[in-house]
Amino acid sequence: MSQDAPRPGGSRTGGPRLGGPRLGGRRGRAHGTVAWAVAGAGPLTWRRRRAVGAAVPRRVAMLSVHTSPLHQPGTGDAGGMNVYIVELAKRLADLGIEVEIFTRATTGGLPPTVELTPGAEGVLVRHIDAGPYEGLAKEDLPTQLCAFTHGVMQAEASQRPGYYDIVHSHYWLSGHVGWLAAQRWGVPLVHTMHTMAKVKNAALAKGDTPEPAARVIGETQIVEAADRLIANTEEEADQLVHHYAAAREKVAVVHPGVNLDRFHPADGRVAARARLGLPPDAFVPLFAGRIQPLKAPDVLLRAVAIVLNEDPSLRERLVVPVVGGPSGSGLAKPERLHKLAAQLGVADVVRFQPPVEQDRLADWYRAATVLVMPSYSESFGLVALEAEACGTPVIAAAVGGLPIAVKDGVSGLLVPGHEPADYARALRHFIDGPRLADRLGTAAVDHAQAFGWEAVAAATAEVYARALHDHRRLAAHA
Ligand code: UDP
């Protein structure tokens, strides 16, 4: 598909794979807020739009400074944003939009460029040298933004002019690189925050470290500089407007998605339990994700302690898996949750598991009676959608995107606040009514179908097209 001159050292031989956005059935139907973008946005339509000179991007420079799409999510700096970028990039490639993802090299010997999925064209990962490979905390990365930007500019300079049509930056650190790159290349900047310092600081767990003022300043600058902002939810759009003075018309709401090919009930709970070595009749409340105060796994352990106190006989058939690794402010004391489990007298029922690949994680979801997410803040909460798609209901704090990911009373239960007693009460509903998990789990599968990544990519491509259109119109009138 490429009209470009061959690229020296480029690893691709042809254009992106042409697949279709499969919007019906299990692959995900359009969710309400993105429906406007999905109608008629198949790959041929995009190509036709391009052929008649409409503003449709051919190639996106996607920026992910602080974490690589090739890293294992569920620990450290790798989480939902990594999954988001991987899934979005693949589905944009399916639409005929090439994606190149720039990320900081964090180990020696990495190739400068690598296909995201070997053998599948359309998404390239570019490793940029900026600072030492190891020992540089996320908090220190602002010192390396200049070096990173230099690497991005160099990569672009070896291509023909106009190589990238659009810059899409993820998280505020990338936003700063994107700000300069987009301006130098004369293309629009689309930015997705993923999380915002002001929002996180307003809902900190007790004793958690607040985000620094420098981040707030950086985020405010990006909101001003970006041509378009993509928010996960209406609530996030409002936060951009009220906390960061974003112009509302710049903000598009696109709910994230779930990979419905990977996350589905498969052969069910009992078979998944057999694969994981869990008893078929156990009560299994699962925590999955990065272990940090913000996600409040401690609230689940405290709730479990309450439930066990009320009914000691439950101990024989209770398993509480905690799947994931330390992250963020949780890195300072990675042993804290283990110690808490011991203090609460529940260490014998808690099963700590290091982060696992998503195919394996799907089995943990299937095996669980219920996923528990007592998070203080959550820009969306992909694990909720993933568990639901696997047929497992969710008990979640009513924060951030969780009230969208979880339909209260239908696909799970929403809990206001973070009182362990409230989570214990929610757990009791599942313990006392064993059919509840099956009933809500069935509805959860249905609820999750509305969130396929194909719809996310189609809506995002529409945001790109609008940004390009406005940018070109403004340039024509300048
Ligand atoms: N995850 C994973 N392996 C693990 C734990 C989590 O691959 O052991 C993935 C999970 O599938 C999800 C992501 O990490 O897609 C976490 O995203 P979420 O939005 O729930 O949280 P975030 O990390 O963005 O705070």
How does DSSP assign 287-304, residue by residue?
EES-BSGGG-HHHHHHHH
The pLDDT score that the predictor gives to residue 48 is: 76
pLDDT number for residue 106? 94
pLDDT at 208: 92
Sequence-ordered list of residues with C-beta below 8 angstroms from that of 161, at least 6 positions apart, any chain: none
Q: Which residue puts its alpha carbon closest to atom 17 of ligand 1?
A: 80
Predicted confidence at residue 25, as pLDDT, reads 33
Residue 90 to residues 70, 109, 397, 472, Cα–Cα distance (Å) = 13, 25, 31, 26
Q: How far apart are the first and last CA of the chain?
A: 31
pLDDT attached to residue 71: 96
**Residue 293 confidence (pLDDT) above 90:** yes
Domain 25-257+452-476's class? Answer: alpha beta
Main-chain dihedrals φ then ψ at residue 371, nearest 5 degrees: -90, 140
CA distances from 418 to 357, 411, 426 (A): 29, 20, 12
Query: What mean pLDDT is reported for the chain?
Result: 90
Q: How confident is the model at residue 60 (pLDDT cuts 50, 70, 90)?
A: very high
CA–centroid distance, 80 to ligand 1, in Å, is 5
Contact 257, 455 (CB under 8 A): yes
Q: Which residues line ligand 1 (CB under 6 A)?
A: 73-74, 79-81, 83, 288-290, 323-324, 355-356, 358, 361, 380-383, 386
Beta bridge partners of 95: none
Tell me the per-residue pLDDT of 204-256, one tens digit each, with 9 for 90 and over.
999 899 999 999 999 999 999 999 999 999 999 999 999 999 999 999 999 99
pLDDT value of residue 320: 98
Output the pLDDT for position 12: 30
Contact 100, 126 (CB under 8 A): yes
pLDDT in tens, 297-319: 999 999 999 999 999 999 999 99
| Residue partners of 153: CB distance under 8 A and separation at least 6 | 181, 184
Beta bridge partners of 370: 285
CA 274 to chain centre: 29
Q: Is the pLDDT of residue 407 over 50?
A: yes
pLDDT of 47 strictly over 80: no
Range list for CATH 3.40.50.2000 in the chain: 25-257+452-476, 268-451
35 vs 260 pLDDT, higher one = 260
pLDDT average, residue stretch 401-429: 98
Q: What's the confidence (pLDDT) of residue 478?
A: 80
Closest CA to 328 of 71, 75, 144: 75
Residues in the chain: 478
Here the tokens at position 12 are: 């691709």
Residue 42 confidence (pLDDT) above 90:
no
* 322 CA from centroid of ligand 1 (Å): 12
- State the Cα–Cα distance between residues 382 and 378, nearest whole angstrom: 9
Alpha carbons 453 and 450: distance in angstroms, whole number: 10
Contact yes or no for 263/384 (Cβ under 8 A): no
Task: Give the distance (Å) from ligand 1 centre to CA of residue 382.
Answer: 6
pLDDT higher at 65 or 40: 65
Structure token pair of residue 3: 């009209």
Of 9 and 116, more confident: 116
| pLDDT value for 5 | 36
What percentage of the chain carries pLDDT values higher than 70? 91
- pLDDT for 54: 74
Q: How many CA atoms lie within 13 A of 316 on its CB side?
A: 2
* pTM: predicted TM-score of the whole model, two decimal places: 0.91
The C-alpha angle with vertex 238 and arms to 235 and 241, in degrees rounded to 5, equals 155
- Give the number of the atom of ligand 1 that is nearest the alpha carbon of residue 288: 5
Q: Is 268 helix (H, G, I), strand (E, B) or coil?
A: helix
Would you state the structure tokens that stand for residue 109, as one six-digit string?
């010997």
| Residue 104 CB coordination number (10 Å) | 24
pLDDT greater than 80 at residue 460: yes
**Could you give the C-alpha distances from 41 to 153, 154, 164, in angstroms and in order?**
32, 34, 21
Ligand 1 center from residue 373 Cα (angstroms): 12
Nearest residue to 225 (alpha-carbon basis) of 197, 244, 253, 201: 244
Q: Determine which residue's CA is closest to atom 22 belonging to ligand 1.
A: 80
> Which pLDDT score, from 0 to 100, does residue 370 have?
98
- Of 324, 314, 304, 311, the closest CA to residue 282 belongs to 314
Task: Give 44's pLDDT tier (boundaries 50, 70, 90).
Answer: low
User: Which ligand 1 atom sits nearest the alpha carbon of residue 378?
Assistant: 25
Confidence of residue 135 (pLDDT cuts 50, 70, 90): confident
String of b and e for 467-476 (b: at least 16 CB within 10 Å)?
bbeebeeeee
In whole angstroms, what is the distance from residue 196 CA to residue 172 CA? 8
Of the residues 75, 81, 361, which should be mutated to test ligand 1's pocket, given the most ligand atoms within 8 Å of the CB?
361
pLDDT-based confidence at residue 283 (cuts at 50, 70, 90): very high
Q: Is the pLDDT of residue 328 over 90?
A: no
How far is Cα 364 from Cα 337, in angstroms, rounded to an integer? 20
Q: Residue 169 forms beta bridges with which residues?
A: 63, 191
Task: Tell me, in angstroms, the distance from the centre of ligand 1 to residue 389's CA.
Answer: 14
Domain 268-451 carries which CATH code?
Answer: 3.40.50.2000
* pLDDT at position 379: 93
pLDDT above 80: residue 43: no
